Amino acid sequence: MTTLQSSTLVCSSASREIRATLQAPKLRHLSMPKLPMRDLVEELNMRSGYTTTTQIEMKPQTTTTTSTRDDDGTSSSTVISELYAIMESVADRVEMHTNIGEQRDNWNHLLLTSINAITVAAATMAGIAASGGMGAPLVALKLSSTLLYSAATGMLLVMNKIQPSQLAEEQRNASRLFKQLHGKIQTTLALRTPTPMDVKDAMAKVLALDKAYPLPLLGTMLNKFPATVEPAVWWPQLRGPAEQEGLGGKTERNGWSGKLEEEMRDIVGVLKRKDTQEYVRLSKIVLKINKILAISGPLLTGLAAVGSAFVGSPHGSWAVFLGVVAGALASVVNTLEHGGQVGMVFEMYRSSAGFFRLMEEQIESNLKEREVERRENGKLFEMKVALQLGRSLSELKDFAASSSRNGKATEEFGSKLF
pLDDT at 57 over 60: no
Binning pLDDT at 50, 70 and 90, where does residue 242 land? very low
Per-residue pLDDT, 407: 61
> Stretch 118-133: mean pLDDT, rounded?
88
pLDDT at 207 over 70: yes
Q: Tell me the torsion sign for CA atoms 271, 276, 279, 285.
A: negative
pLDDT at 375 over 80: yes
| Average pLDDT in the chain | 82
CB 366 within 8 A of CB 264: yes
Binning pLDDT at 50, 70 and 90, where does residue 203 land? very high
* Percent of residues, the chain, with pLDDT higher than 90: 61
CB 180 within 8 A of CB 160: no
CB 354 within 8 A of CB 232: yes
The pLDDT tens digits of the residues spanning 347-370 come to 999 999 999 999 999 999 999 888
Binning pLDDT at 50, 70 and 90, where does residue 51 land? very low
Q: Where are the domains of the chain?
A: 75-236+255-406
Decide which of 401 and 92 is more confident. Answer: 92
> Stretch 88-115: mean pLDDT, rounded?
96
CB 287 within 8 A of CB 350: no
Per-residue pLDDT, 405: 72
Decide which of 373 and 348 is more confident. Answer: 348
Decide which of 376 and 48 is more confident. Answer: 376
The pLDDT tens digits of the residues spanning 218-234 come to 888 999 999 999 999 99
The pLDDT tens digits of the residues spanning 148-176 come to 999 999 999 999 999 999 999 999 999 99
Decide which of 274 and 30 is more confident. Answer: 274
10-24, 98-112, 304-318: segment of lowest average pLDDT: 10-24
Per-residue pLDDT, 412: 84
CB 111 within 8 A of CB 160: no
Question: Is residue 289 classed exposed, middle or buried when 0-12, 13-18 and 19+ CB atoms within 10 A define those classes?
Answer: middle
Per-residue pLDDT, 185: 95
For the CA atoms of 378, 383, 388, 391, what is the dihedral angle to 10 degrees? 130
27-36, 143-152, 195-204: segment of lowest average pLDDT: 27-36
* Percent of residues, the chain, with pLDDT higher than 70: 77
Question: Is residue 76 classed exposed, middle or buried when 0-12, 13-18 and 19+ CB atoms within 10 A define those classes?
Answer: middle
Binning pLDDT at 50, 70 and 90, where does residue 49 land? very low
Per-residue pLDDT, 6: 45
* 278: amino acid identity, one letter: E
Per-residue pLDDT, 220: 84
Binning pLDDT at 50, 70 and 90, where does residue 247 land? low
Per-residue pLDDT, 14: 44
pLDDT at 259 over 70: yes
Binning pLDDT at 50, 70 and 90, where does residue 417 land? confident
Report the chain's C-alpha Rg in angstroms.
44
Whole-angstrom CA distances from 189 to 117, 200, 205, 333 are 54, 15, 17, 52
Per-residue pLDDT, 73: 53
Per-residue pLDDT, 373: 87
Q: Tell me the torsion sign for CA atoms 242, 248, 253, 255.
A: positive
Closest CA to 77 of 240, 200, 193: 193
Secondary structure in 3-state letters for the chain: CHHHHHHHHHHHHHHHHHHHHHCCCCCCCCCCCCCCHHHHHHHHHHHCCCCCCCCCCCCCCCCCCCCCECCCCCEHHHHHHHHHHHHHHHHHHHHHHHHHHHHHHHHHHHHHHHHHHHHHHHHHHHHHHHCCCCHHHHHHHHHHHHHHHHHHHHHHHHHHHHCHHHHHHHHHHHHHHHHHHHHHHHHHHHHCCCCHHHHHHHHHHHHHHHHHCCCCCCCCCCCCCCCCCCCCCCCCCCCCCCCCCCCCCCCEECCEEHHHHHHHHHHHHHHHHHHHHHHHHHHHHHHHHHHHHHHHHHHHHHHHHHHHHCCCCCCHHHHHHHHHHHHHHHHHHHHHHHHCCHHHHHHHHHHHHHHHHHHHHHHHHHHHCCCHHHCCCHHHHHHHHHHHCCCCHHHHHHHHHHHHHHHHHCCCCCCCCC
Binning pLDDT at 50, 70 and 90, where does residue 55 land? very low
CB 316 within 8 A of CB 129: no
Using CA atoms, how far apart are residues 340 and 360, in angstroms rounded to an integer?
A: 32
> Stretch 340-353: mean pLDDT, rounded?
96
